[in-house]
């Protein structure tokens, strides 16, 4: 009796199986079923029809109807796969198109052309470029490290860039301080840097401070900015910048170079990371760490380390990738080795310890 019922069901399925699938698909679309639900119901009905097709008495093996439903299933799988692939492709393209549209509302046509390579990057896009334009960054020092930092921040479209330095351009600077030129020897470095930055990108604001950074002005000056980059070769200034950044709650990207080696880190104790004094609690004894003027420095090294500092700044502003917060990167250019070590805050740090 069960065999008779199955055979009868098979005969019915031959007549109404395919229309039934079509009607279910139309009903599900009309009732606005979720994609997963509709596919689940259609798959269940297809499996039932495939099972019934095995009860064809005229064909004891795999019947013609079994092959028919297998082919239908294969066609359906290919169609669904193609549709999902198309959806995934559109999902990848849509954010880029939206980012470009958003950027058009914030930038002039000339700026859009200038920043096009940034806007195309998924991690930056129009939103990230708007953040760069709105950002205020202070660079301490317009020398070896400051040169690439200032040029790349200007090129990247950071809207407001402050630069503080008391020195003037000297001939010995030009071996590595690529933001300056021979024609500007004797000019204050901050004004020389301003000339180069505005020539590179007229859409940014440059704030030059031709003076020494002192304890009296440091905190108030830092509070005017979102991020500080320190490229000085003077330990007293490095510790001063760190104290000012901790007091103002502003992140600090610090770089240092000597001879063939350099290091970079991002210090943000307001977010639970260490400050500069956590890693270097005691200033080196005089003469222990010679300056570039005393020990020399390979010409491209400031470009390498300064570019990394600028890259960290762009990432921090746009939220792209992983920064060097809580990590110290050390680069040995002579043997072309780079390593990154962990850096943690110290509870007993005299600068930021009380904040944790």
Q: How far is CA 25 from CA 20, 45, 75, in A?
A: 9, 11, 15
Give this prediction's pTM: 0.71
State whether 299 and 221 are in the same domain. yes
Q: For residues 92 and 153, state if they share a domain.
A: no
Give the angle 201-128-146 at the CA atoms, nearest 5°: 45
Distance (Å, rounded) from C-alpha 242 to C-alpha 255?
12
- Torsion from C-alpha of 176, 177, 182, 184, nearest 10 degrees: -170
Alpha-carbon distance 342 to 298, whole Å? 27
10 shares its domain with 63: yes
Q: Of 65, 100, 135, which closes a domain?
A: 100
Residue 122 placed within a domain: no
**Mean pLDDT score, 157-169:** 97
* Sign of the Cα pseudo-torsion (102, 107, 111, 115, in order): negative
220 with 312, same domain: the answer is: yes
Mean pLDDT (whole number) for 254-261: 95
CB 224 within 8 A of CB 136: yes
Residue 157 zone, left/alpha/beta (φ > 0; ψ -120 to 50; rest):
left
User: Does residue 218 share a domain with residue 180?
Assistant: yes
Average pLDDT value for the chain: 85
Q: Is the pLDDT of residue 92 over 90?
A: no
Cβ atoms of residues 323 and 315 within 8 Å: yes
Tens of pLDDT along 174-223? Answer: 999 999 999 999 999 999 999 999 999 999 999 999 999 999 999 999 99
Domain match, 131 and 89 both: no
Q: Is residue 112 part of a domain?
A: no
Are 139 and 96 in a shared domain? no
**Could you give the strand order of the β-sheet that contains 160-164, starting from the edge strand earlier in sequence?**
205-209, 160-164, 136-140, 227-230, 252-258, 261-267, 327-332, 337-342
C-alpha of 189 from chain center: 31
Would you say 180 and 165 are in contact if contact means Cβ atoms under 8 Å apart? Answer: no
The yes-or-no verdict on residue 319 having pLDDT over 90 is yes
Residues 56 and 138 in one domain: no
Q: What is the mean pLDDT of residues 19-47?
A: 69
Which of 89-93, 286-290, 320-324 is the least confident region? 89-93
Would you state the pLDDT for residue 31?
66
Q: Would residue 109 count as lying in a domain?
A: no
Domain shared by 47 and 85, yes or no: yes
- State which of 100, 117, 148 marks the end of a domain: 100
**Burial (Cβ within 10 Å: 0-12, 13-18, ≥19) of residue 1:** exposed
Let me know if residue 107 belongs to a domain: no
Q: Which CATH number covers residue 167?
A: 3.40.50.720
User: Mapping DSSP to helix (H, G, I), strand (E, B) and coil, where does residue 211 land?
Assistant: coil
Residues 196 and 94 in one domain: no
Tokens, residue 273? 């990371």
Q: Can you tell me the distance from the alpha carbon of 140 to that of 241, in angstroms, rounded to the nearest whole number? A: 8
85 and 204 co-located in one domain = no
Question: Is 117 inside any structural domain?
Answer: no
What's the number of domains the chain is made of?
2
CB-CB neighbours of 263 under 10 Å: 18
Owning domain of residue 63: 2-100
Whether residue 118 is contained in a domain is answered as no
Last residue of one domain, picked from the residues 83, 100, 117:
100
Task: Give the separation between CA 202 and CA 157, rounded to whole angstroms.
Answer: 10
Residue 356's pLDDT is 45
The answer on 341 and 214 residing in a single domain is yes
* Residue 335 CB burial class (10 angstroms; 0-12, 13-18, ≥19): exposed
Asked if the structure places residue 108 within a domain, the reply is: no
Q: Is residue 119 part of a domain?
A: no
């Amino acid at each position: 009796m069960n065999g008779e019922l199955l055979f009868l069901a098979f005969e019915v399925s031959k007549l109404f199986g395919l229309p039934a699938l079509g009607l279910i698909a139309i009903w599900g679309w009309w009732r606005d079923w979720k994609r997963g639900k509709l596919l689940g119901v259609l798959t269940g009905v297809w499996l039932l029809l495939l099972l019934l097709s095995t009860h064809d008495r005229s064909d004891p093996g795999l019947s013609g109807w079994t092959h028919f439903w297998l082919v239908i299933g294969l066609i359906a799988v290919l169609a669904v796969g193609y549709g999902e692939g198309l959806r995934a492709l559109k999902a990848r393209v849509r954010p880029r198109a939206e980012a470009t549209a958003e950027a058009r509302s914030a930038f002039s046509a000339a700026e859009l052309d200038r920043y096009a390579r940034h806007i195309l990057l998924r991690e930056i896009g129009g939103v990230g470029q708007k953040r760069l334009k709105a950002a205020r960054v202070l660079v301490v020092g317009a020398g070896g490290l400051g040169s690439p930092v200032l040029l790349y921040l200007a090129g990247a479209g950071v809207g407001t860039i402050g630069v503080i330095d008391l020195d003037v351009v000297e001939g010995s600077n030009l071996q590595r301080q690529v933001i300056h030129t021979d024609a500007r020897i004797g000019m204050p470095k901050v004004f020389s840097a301003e000339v180069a930055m505005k020539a590179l990108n007229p859409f940014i604001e440059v704030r030059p401070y031709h003076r020494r950074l002192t304890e009296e002005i440091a905190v108030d000056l830092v509070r005017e900015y979102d991020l500080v980059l320190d490229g000085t070769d003077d330990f007293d200034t490095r510790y001063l910048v760190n104290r000012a950044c901790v007091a103002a709650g502003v992140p600090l990207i610090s770089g240092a170079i000597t001879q063939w080696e350099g290091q970079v880190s991002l210090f943000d104790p307001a977010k639970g990371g260490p400050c500069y004094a956590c890693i270097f609690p005691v200033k080196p004894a005089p003469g222990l760490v010679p300056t570039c003027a005393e020990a020399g420095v390979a010409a491209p090294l400031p470009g390498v380390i300064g570019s990394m500092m600028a890259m960290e700044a762009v990432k921090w502003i746009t939220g792209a990738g992983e920064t060097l917060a809580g990590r110290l990167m050390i680069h040995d250019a002579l043997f072309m080795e780079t390593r990154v070590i962990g850096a943690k805050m110290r509870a007993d740090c005299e600068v930021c310890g009380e904040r944790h």
